[in-house]
Amino acid sequence: MPKAEILDPQGQAVVRALHRTGVEGVADVRQGKRFELEVDDSVDRAELEKVAETLLANTVIEDFEVVVEAAGEAQ
Amino acid sequence: MPKAEILDPQGQAVVRALHRTGVEGVADVRQGKRFELEVDDSVDRAELEKVAETLLANTVIEDFEVVVEAAGEAQ
């Protein structure tokens, strides 16, 4: 997700659209990316953190979080 | 996230990039959007589901999931 201090024009556009459609009570919206990777046991958390940091996130403007779920646990 | 039956070219591009950088063991990657909305108590789950379905997701090609967290719980 965009870092808290980074302006998020996409999120602000959603806030305005919500207000236009009459949805009140929304103070802020942040829009980011979500990746779901299907991996085998050879890929551990450390490698996933490295993949996220070097390939999937732009760490200058984005924070990222790695959540590991066992097969079948995924929502 | 893109529906399972939908081709995900962005996800496939990430799979190829991972293989090029020597990361093995990644069977599939799906890339989607994540929105974080900061709302007050006047906005209930039903309204969030409606916002997600009508404004934030393209339900023809995307599935969506609403997760409600109390203030301070957010990761």
Cα separation, B15 vs B19, whole angstroms: 6
B43 to chain A, closest Cα gap in Å: 6
Please check whether residue A73 touches B, CB under 8 A. Answer: no
8 Å CB contact between B31 and A33: yes
pLDDT digits (tens, 9 = 90+) for A13-69: 999 999 999 999 999 999 999 999 999 999 999 999 999 999 999 999 999 999 999
Q: What residue segments make up the domains of chain A, in order of their start?
A: 1-32, 35-75
Measure CB to CB from residue A43 to each of B26, B32, B43 and give the nearest one: B26
Give the C-alpha distances (Å, rounded to integers) separating B15 from A18, A52, A64, B3, B30: 35, 13, 19, 18, 9
Contact A14, A31 (CB under 8 A): yes
Chain B residues with CB under 8 Å of A47 CB are 23
Residue B12: how many CB atoms within 10 A of its CB?
14
The answer, for B68 touching chain A at a CB cutoff of 8 Å, is no
Assign B38 to helix, strand or coil.
strand
Pick the range with the lowest mean pLDDT from A3-7, A70-74, B26-30, B68-72. A70-74
Q: Which residues pair with B37 in a beta bridge?
A: A29
| A28 in reach of chain B (CB within 8 A) | yes
Contacts of B41 in chain A (CB under 8 A): 25
Q: What is the largest CA-CA distance in chain B?
A: 49
CB A50 within 8 A of CB B22: no
Q: Find residue A1's DSSP bridge partners.
A: none
**Chain B residues lying within 8 Å of A31, measured CB to CB:** 33-35
- On whether ipTM exceeds 0.95, the answer is no
pLDDT given at position B6: 87
Q: How many CB pairs under 8 A join A and B?
A: 92
Q: How many CB atoms lie within 10 A of CB A19?
A: 11
A3 at interface of B, judged by CB pairs closer than 8 A: no
Question: How high is the pLDDT of residue A74?
Answer: 54
